[in-house]
Amino acid sequence: MSHAADHRPVSEPAEGIELGPLAELARRSLNGDHPGEIGTMLPPLIDHHVHLMIVGVHALADTAIAGVVDLGAPLELLTEQRSHDGLPHVEFAGTFLTAPGGYPVGRPWAAPGCAREIPVAPRDGRGSLPDPAETAVSEQQAFGASVVKVALNAAAGPVFDRATLDAVVAAAHERGMPVVAHVEGEGMTRLAIEAGVDALAHTPFTERVDDDLVARAVAAEQRWISTLFVTSYGEPAPEREMALDNLRRFHGAGGRVLYGTDLGNGDQPLGVNPAELALLAEAGLGASDVLAAICDPWPLVERDDAVATFVTGPSPTTIDGLADWLASACIVPAEDLEAL
Ligand SMILES: [Zn+2]
């Protein structure tokens, strides 16, 4: 190897793959740690699907993940977390809203109080009683939730009828909260899309979403949280192939993908999961698409600009190298970085 090759700058276009508009060459300031170090600066990294009730509220401290979206926890956990202001930043869905006896009621991992069963509303037209859907949504918001999670799992029990689901979605949207759905079982993706659900908590993995329905999801600007790794924990499986095929066509049609791991579900590394990133690449996302998926501030609209992600050294030369490269990232105060 020539001497010049050892000192090739990280920005050299011929060397690294195209990382897109979110990545910038940067130098760490002389005041902070590692003064003068050169690398790549990115917005904060976000895991859009975790369960702190399973992994613990501090499980992701000291990782490269600067923000998480908790998609199902007892309301006590929201209260407990409110007094904690370290990283990662947490957005909450609060409890799973589900039909009486529906998923995840009775699951061994489901902590007491993490699911709220909503009865079918009495629709006598008199309006004398508060709507149970509205009461449930309003309670999540009062405890600090910024997203509403509904469980639509026809493979594991009863699911909402369309009118109750509509009432939940309407109550959430009236309060400016997006709705995210766990869809599993035949017809559940269609139900979520037709009811105006804003995001899917998992790429659909139990049914093929046909191209027309994919197009409807894209047109509605629905977001799909990836969670590809937990379909089979790295093993070949029909669920994984189903999810990859669905996500490949959703992304190909212009759908918005969010990086999410469902951390707490099975054995996964704490922090960025390189296997999830590799599966996103397998679903056809290029490096800049992967970065868009992991840096999307959803459900927030604005990014936290107080912190940034920094990856030391040269950028990856292949899409396969992206996962390990990103897994070596760290969080730094944005003011410690100088764009070059
Ligand atoms: Zn989950």
As separate numbers, helices (DSSP H) first and strands (DSSP E) second, the chain gives 11, 15
Rounded to the nearest angstrom, the distance between the alpha carbon of 289 and the centre of ligand 1 is 23
Question: What value does the mean pLDDT of the chain take?
Answer: 91
pTM higher than the cut 0.85: yes
Ligand 1 geometric centre to CA of 50 (Å): 6
CA of 252 to the centre of ligand 1 (A): 25
Distance from the alpha carbon of residue 155 to the mean position of ligand 1, in angstroms: 16
Q: How far is the CA of 73 from the centre of ligand 1 (A)?
A: 10
Query: Is the model's pLDDT at 11 over the cut of 70?
Result: no
3-state secondary structure of 85: coil
Centroid of ligand 1 to alpha carbon of 160 (angstroms): 18
147-175 pLDDT, tens digit per residue, is 999 999 999 999 999 999 999 999 999 99
Distance CA 327, CA 23 (A): 15
Q: In this predicted structure, what is the pLDDT of residue 2?
A: 39
DSSP symbol at 263: B
The predicted pLDDT at position 300 comes to 95
> Average of pLDDT values for 74-80?
92
Q: What is the pLDDT of residue 59?
A: 92
Predicted pLDDT of residue 81:
86
138/40 Cα distance (integer angstroms) = 42
Percent helix, strand and coil across the chain, each to the nearest 5? 30, 20, 50
DSSP string, 15-47: TSPP--TT-EEEEE-SSSSSTT-EEEEEPPEEE
Q: What is the pLDDT of residues 233-256, one digit of tens each?
A: 989 999 999 999 999 999 999 999
Q: What is the pLDDT of residues 261-275, one digit of tens each?
A: 999 999 999 999 999
Ligand 1 center to residue 97 CA distance, Å?
A: 13
Alpha helices for the chain (secondary structure H): 3-6, 52-55, 75-82, 132-142, 162-174, 188-194, 211-219, 238-252, 274-282, 287-295, 319-327
**Closest by Cα among 44, 36, 8, 41 to 24:** 41
- Backbone phi and psi for residue 92, each to the nearest 5 degrees, phi listed first: -120, 145
| Average pLDDT for 28-53 | 91
Mean pLDDT of 319-332: 91
Is 314's pLDDT higher than 70?
Answer: yes
Lowest mean pLDDT among 190-199, 281-290, 317-326: 317-326
Map tokens 């908590």 to a residue: 201
pLDDT at 142: 97
94-143 confidence digits (pLDDT tens)? 999 999 999 999 999 998 899 999 988 666 555 556 799 999 999 999 99
Residue 23: exposure state from Cβ atoms within 10 A (0-12, 13-18, ≥19)? buried
Evaluated on CA atoms 76, 78, 82, 85, the torsion sign reads: positive
Q: Does position 10 have pLDDT exceeding 80, yes or no?
A: no
At 166 the three-state DSSP class reads helix
pLDDT of residue 121: 67
pLDDT higher than threshold 90 for residue 9: no
Query: What does the pLDDT read at residue 33?
Result: 74
Residue 124 pLDDT:
57
- In this prediction, residue 122 carries a pLDDT of 64
Residues for the chain: how many in total? 340
Q: Report pLDDT for 86.
A: 87
CA 98 to centroid of ligand 1, rounded, Å = 14
Q: Tell me what the mean pLDDT of segment 186-213 comes to.
A: 98
Which pLDDT score is estimated for 6? 43
Share of the chain above pLDDT 70, in %: 93
pLDDT of residue 215: 98
Low-confidence winner among 45-59, 108-122, 145-159, 298-312 (lowest mean pLDDT): 108-122
Instruction: Tell me the pLDDT tens digit for each residue of 201-223.
Output: 999 999 999 999 999 999 999 99
The alpha carbon of 330 and the centre of ligand 1 are apart by a number of angstroms equal to 25
Compute the distance between CA of residue 46 and CA of residue 65 in angstroms, rounded to an integer: 6
Q: How far is the C-alpha of 264 from the C-alpha of 90, rounded, in Å? A: 15
Chosen CATH of 46-114+129-299 out of 3.40.50.920, 1.10.3720.10, 2.70.98.10, 3.20.20.140: 3.20.20.140
Residue 83 pLDDT > 80, yes or no? Answer: no
